[in-house]
């Protein structure tokens, strides 16, 4: 059974940093891509970052490039999202996701098979 559990969210002032974690179980090497999404009420879920689990190659949405860094510790089976220079517009519920497919079409929520329950990030100005 695949399980994804996010943690590390919280409240921070603009310019601050947070590190999100996504602990995984049941995610084998056949799951080639993992990602972070975020969602605010009334809006579609937005892809933030994705990582190929074999090569470590990362992909980012333009709005977080240079500020966010996705990484994966294969030994710990954990996905991370380091978020620096946070802005109020980064406020959202953040989710991790995984799929046995590659990172193609990674920004499309329907591409992903498994999701965590989310962790809230609130950035105040």
**Percentage above 70 pLDDT, the chain:** 100
Q: Tens of pLDDT along 32-45?
A: 899 999 999 999 99
Q: How far apart are CA 103 and CA 83, in angstroms?
A: 21
Taking only the tens place, the pLDDT of each residue in 79-104 is 999 999 999 999 999 999 999 888 99
Looking at residue 74, what is its pLDDT?
83
Give the pLDDT confidence score for residue 54 in this predicted structure.
Answer: 87
Give residue 122's pLDDT: 98
Question: 79 in helix, strand or coil?
Answer: strand
Contact 106, 35 (CB under 8 A): yes
pLDDT digits (tens, 9 = 90+) for 44-84: 999 999 999 888 999 999 999 999 999 999 888 899 999 99
pLDDT at 58: 97
């Amino acid at each position: 059974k695949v399980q994804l559990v996010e943690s590390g969210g919280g409240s921070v002032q603009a310019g601050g940093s947070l590190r999100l974690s996504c602990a995984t179980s049941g995610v084998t090497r056949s799951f080639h891509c993992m990602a972070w999404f975020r969602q605010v009420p009334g809006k579609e879920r937005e892809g933030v970052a994705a990582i190929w689990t074999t090569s470590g190659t990362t992909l980012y949405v333009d709005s977080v490039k240079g500020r966010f860094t996705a990484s994966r510790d294969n030994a710990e089976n954990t996905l991370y999202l380091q978020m620096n220079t946070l802005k109020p517009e980064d406020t959202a519920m953040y989710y991790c996701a995984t799929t046995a497919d590659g990172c193609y079409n990674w920004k499309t929520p329907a591409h992903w098979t498994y999701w965590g329950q989310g962790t809230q990030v609130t950035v105040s100005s």
